[in-house]
Amino acid sequence: MMSNQQKTIAVVDDDPEMRCAMRNLLSALGYIGKTYDSAKTFLNCASTCEASCLVLDIQLGDISGIELAHRLAADGFRFPIIFMTGLDDATIREQAIAAGGIAFLRKPFSAEMLADAITKAVDTGLSPRQTITAQSSRQSRQFPHLINADKVFGTHSPVRLNQSLSGRLST
């Protein structure tokens, strides 16, 4: 496995337990995990963020993850984006794809599904500061098969997911 030590993954989720679980998991996978509690917090840091990809919760307290993706694109940022949500709805999935998402993970999802999505996102070679031109058509050619995380931990709540990940990571 190649070293991911220099790769930073930004996670935007308003659930503190999920942010903690994601930070632990990303560390175990060899990434640097930077977490943000809201879309506004991330927007304030976007110009200096060196993340290789973003993992965005769709349901945020202030601005949705999809709206955050649109705002970043409007400002010329082109982070590869992995969307995650507890609601698997066809309309939400279509909106996430239209916003440039390269993966759509339904919570709770397995560590392997997240790792696969991050690998795909990091391998795109997109730079956060590249200018966006014809993104949606290029996106559909580059990523014809979005990752769909239908294999999940079962009925684990985010708290239990955190406990599961913490237990798995400490062994």
Identify which of 96-100, 136-140, 153-157 has the greatest average pLDDT.
Answer: 96-100
Domain assignment present for residue 52? The answer is yes
Confidence of residue 126 (pLDDT cuts 50, 70, 90): low
CA separation for the pair 8, 52 (Å, rounded): 6
Domain assignment present for residue 3? The answer is no
CA separation for the pair 90, 20 (Å, rounded): 28
Domain assignment present for residue 170? The answer is no
Q: What is the pLDDT of residue 123?
A: 83
Domain assignment present for residue 64? The answer is yes
Domain that residue 42 falls in: 8-162
DSSP string, 108-169: S--HHHHHHHHHHHHTT---TTPPPSSHHHHHHHH-SS-EEE----SS--HHHHHHHHHHHH
Domain assignment present for residue 53? The answer is yes
Question: For the chain, how many structural domains are there in total?
Answer: 1
Domain assignment present for residue 46? The answer is yes
Confidence of residue 145 (pLDDT cuts 50, 70, 90): very low
Q: What is the pLDDT of residue 137?
A: 34
Instruction: Please say if the pLDDT value at position 109 is more than 70.
Output: yes
Q: What is the pLDDT of residue 156?
A: 35
Instruction: Please say if the pLDDT value at position 152 is more than 50.
Output: no
Q: 30: phi > 0 → left, psi -120 to 50 → alpha, else beta; which?
A: left
Instruction: Please say if the pLDDT value at position 50 is more than 60.
Output: yes
Strand partners of residue 147: 103
Task: Give the pLDDT confidence of 67-99 residue by residue, as tens digits.
Answer: 999 999 999 998 999 999 998 789 999 999 999
- CATH of residue 158: 3.40.50.2300
Domain assignment present for residue 120? The answer is yes
Instruction: Please say if the pLDDT value at position 100 is more than 60.
Output: yes
Domain assignment present for residue 1? The answer is no
